[in-house]
Chain A
């Protein structure tokens, strides 16, 4: 679209973009109708809404907004299809699975480690260093969190030890990626292997057959006194772990830092055009070191949540790929903290559903568990908008 047409579009009140998003919403509503608490038992209204969404999507496509157009068509198809499937299953089943408040609480639980990892990933990648090693740094935090809580007797010490461990592994990544100018992706893969091996080794060596102690100090949940009695909201957020709140605060803090402070501006400049940053006197190397170490600390906190916030125990490879989902969250969220929050919640939601589905259908649960990965592939393929990373990412920087 030439700029003239685009301006004209912007000046009209109802643009194809509005219609596109509206159509997607209609598709979502189509499915929602069939679910508790509304539980419309006929699929007719949902199919009608679905068709409307598809039609609107086609119109939007014709007006040049291809991504929104296809998105609306997809929403219509999925919404109607999901509604049809839901009307064909028993009300009891649906109510078992779809208890919104419990789902919300579970979503937060699943999202927390993803959020920490993603925020760490954002910091590192905004400075220009690819961090595939989030998984490994998370795993370090996972093991060392519970180890520290065990040895030190309190979850505070556990968190501190976790942060140090994550930071230390991140330091290795920084040395190899920034100073030795090694390939950052290969280095990240190595970091993950190292973490897997080191934590597994130390776990077997230290805890052997019995596993971690049952009574290790854990990060407390925060019970909100008045709120917990409110019907829906109370079940949803009345009793959430401290670390979840911490993660949300971190989202806000990082957003302010990146986009409203001088230091955030400098960090971003190093990731976009390091030579330009160097010519105004910034130290690219120092900035990248700090960023990578910080990302390790954040990721480790996410891992620590898993062991001493949520589960209360550790097993080898406990993170099981969450670090990669965190990376997906970074990409889908376009390297912005707000976007990371949105997608961490989306993926958390999908995991929450997957957890409850086995009461309904075993195999269905598995497919829901695969959702984050499939969704990331779709995003990376640019179907949901082009995701543009910091310009200088992944390229080793040479001073001379």
Chain B
């Protein structure tokens, strides 16, 4: 089998960060080759270079035996390289057909856009490759699974021979993932070369023929999946034996601190997102909320923390009804919130560390006096928090933007725990963090659980869920569809997350 693509010694720097460090990668026609690594290992960067979105600082690219310079996506498309991005590059207000044919539109007489020809071509491709789409549907009304099919069709419309898929299963249900794999196998057998970027070991072993592992910008190894196991791949990915379980004291569950009953809430588009959720969190336990992204978890969290309107149902904190309270009142009632996106929602990057740490308490007597803010007391409070949570990288006066992601997250966690909450709601607390920071966060959450707080953890990473939780609640289409103990298997959880096999919720 000849090499469809060869990347040799690719190096790319962004300022001080080396995203790719002398990476070699080869791809054969008629294979599915996985690119595996943790968040930030350099997988997306490498493929963006291949697609002409970035220019490499060093290294060369050889496509079908010819050395090439790919300086724009146009060039990549002309070379037969197609990319299916992790965050879809689709225009929400335009139709499926318009998105697919954009920049390569069929014309009718007089130079006008030939809509019929476009629709027909889309239908033809759709049938040929088994990717069902409706050409005249508008993208923003269409399901995530269909959107992804549109992305793939975009590449196939341009006769891509090399197809790169960046974390395609992140937004898919288990069934949709299987459908995708079927399509990928058909494309592979058709002679196309497929790059499958992922950080999910199980899927890689299932679909790929070979796998290349990246870590911190370097290529570690390339192996055939037939010879690999989850453990061997994990070791390559992380560089040491991965601690898959945090040491936890045995569960000492106490009185309920958060009781949700029959909660209903709508999403930003006014469609029902939370459709009758019942859940209870007790002091001294960690309850994890697991599920595929987009099943109402975010809206549920926002409703609980007072950031989203509750249409129906009740939120009771420590026996007192707090339904409909504002965000500020929820904090006062004892619910703290470690928000999902620390840079956009958790911190004000242009504020100093001290100012950020004061975000919940600046109106209290601790830091102000009848509206007069005391910077001195703010800084003093910040210093003690910085010490307690081991925040590194700056003084209280340093801008939050200067800290690394892990230290930024520590600030957010410090601030929320400093309020002394009864319930701590943590939404994706380790997203985008390196392993050291993840371990810190996990240890801290367990410590707070042992100290008697109730913790509601929302996470998309099933490893994290299974290692931290005392109970796992699976959310699907806005309802809790199952409750599982922490030793539940991935299969059990996966089935529940896609709506099958219901078990009674507690």
A: residues with CB less than 8 A from B are 256, 260-262, 264-266, 268-269, 272-273, 275-282, 391, 400
Residues of chain A within 8 A of B54, CB atoms compared: 400
A280 touches B77 (CB 8 A): yes
Contacts of A265 in B (CB 8 A): 94, 98, 102, 105, 113
- 29 A-B residue pairs with Cβ-Cβ distance under 8 Å, sorted by A, are A256-B112, A260-B113, A261-B112, A261-B113, A262-B107, A262-B113, A265-B98, A265-B105, A265-B113, A266-B102, A268-B94, A269-B102, A272-B92, A273-B92, A276-B89, A276-B102, A277-B91, A277-B102, A278-B73, A279-B73, A279-B83, A279-B85, A280-B73, A280-B102, A280-B154, A281-B74, A281-B77, A391-B92, A400-B54
Q: Is B476 an interface residue (CB 8 A)?
A: no
Cα A264 to Cα B73 with chains together (Å): 20
CA–CA, A269 and B92, complex, Å: 10
Q: A262-B113, A272-B94 are contacts. A281–B72 as well, Cβ < 8 Å?
A: yes
Return A176 CB to nearest CB of chain B, in Å.
23
B: residues with CB less than 8 A from A are 51, 53-55, 72-74, 77, 83, 85, 89-94, 98-99, 102-105, 107, 111-113, 154
Tell me the bound Cα distance from A277 to B99 in angstroms. Answer: 9
B266 to A: closest C-beta gap in Å: 11
Known A-B contacts A266-B102, A279-B53, A280-B77; A261 and B94 likewise in contact (beta carbons under 8 Å): no
Q: Verify B94–A269 contact, CB threshold 8 A.
A: yes
* A272→B139 CA distance, assembly (Å): 13
Cβ distance B108 to chain A, nearest Cβ, rounded Å: 9
User: Secondary structure at chain B's binding surface: helix, strand, loop or mixed?
Assistant: loop
- Knowing A260-B112, A261-B113 touch, does A279 contact B89 (C-beta < 8 A)? yes
Rounded to whole Å, the gap between the CB of A267 and the closest CB of chain B is 11
Bound complex: CA A272 to CA B154 (Å)? 18
B112 touches A275 (CB 8 A): no
A residues in contact with B51, CB < 8 Å: 279
Across-interface contacts of B89 in A (CB, < 8 A):
273, 275-276, 279-280
Tell me the bound Cα distance from A135 to B317 in angstroms: 57
State the CA gap A380–B237 with chains docked (Å): 53
Taking a contact as CB atoms under 8 Å apart, the answer to whether A273 and B107 are in contact is: no
Nearest chain A residue, comparing its CB with the CB of B105: A262
Q: Which residue of chain B has the shortest Cβ distance to A399 in the bound complex?
A: B53
Please measure, in the bound complex, the distance between the C-alpha atom of A262 and the C-alpha atom of B55, giving whole angstroms: 29
A interface, by DSSP: helix, strand, loop or mixed?
helix
A260-B113, A262-B113, A400-B54 are known contacts. Are A280 and B91 too (CB-CB below 8 A)?
no
Q: In the complex, which residues of chain B have a beta carbon less than 8 angstroms from the beta carbon of A391?
A: 92-93
Residues of B within 8 A of A260 (CB): 112-113
A276 touches B53 (CB 8 A): no
For A275, list chain B residues within 8 Å (CB).
Answer: 89
Interface-centre pick from A266, A273, A279, A282 (highest chain B CB count, 10 A): A279
The 4 closest A-B pairs by CB, nearest first: A281-B74, A276-B89, A262-B105, A280-B103
Which residues in B have their C-beta under 8 angstroms from that of A282? 102-103
B93 and A272 form a contact (CB under 8 A): yes
Question: Which residue of chain A lies nearest to B72 when distances are taken between CB atoms in the complex?
Answer: A281
- A252 shortest CB reach to chain B, Å: 14
Further 16 A-B residue pairs, CB within 8 A, beyond A266-B102, A280-B73: A260-B112, A262-B113, A265-B94, A272-B93, A272-B94, A275-B89, A276-B89, A276-B90, A276-B99, A279-B51, A279-B53, A279-B73, A280-B77, A281-B103, A282-B102, A400-B53
Q: Which residues does chain A contribute within 8 Å of B90, judged by CB atoms? A: 273, 276
Contact of A261 among B53, B73, B93, B111 (CB under 8 A): B111
How far, in whole Å, are A238 and B265 apart by their CA atoms in the complex? 60
Expressed in whole angstroms, the minimum distance between the Cβ of B80 and any Cβ of chain A is 13
A400 to B55, CA, bound (A): 9
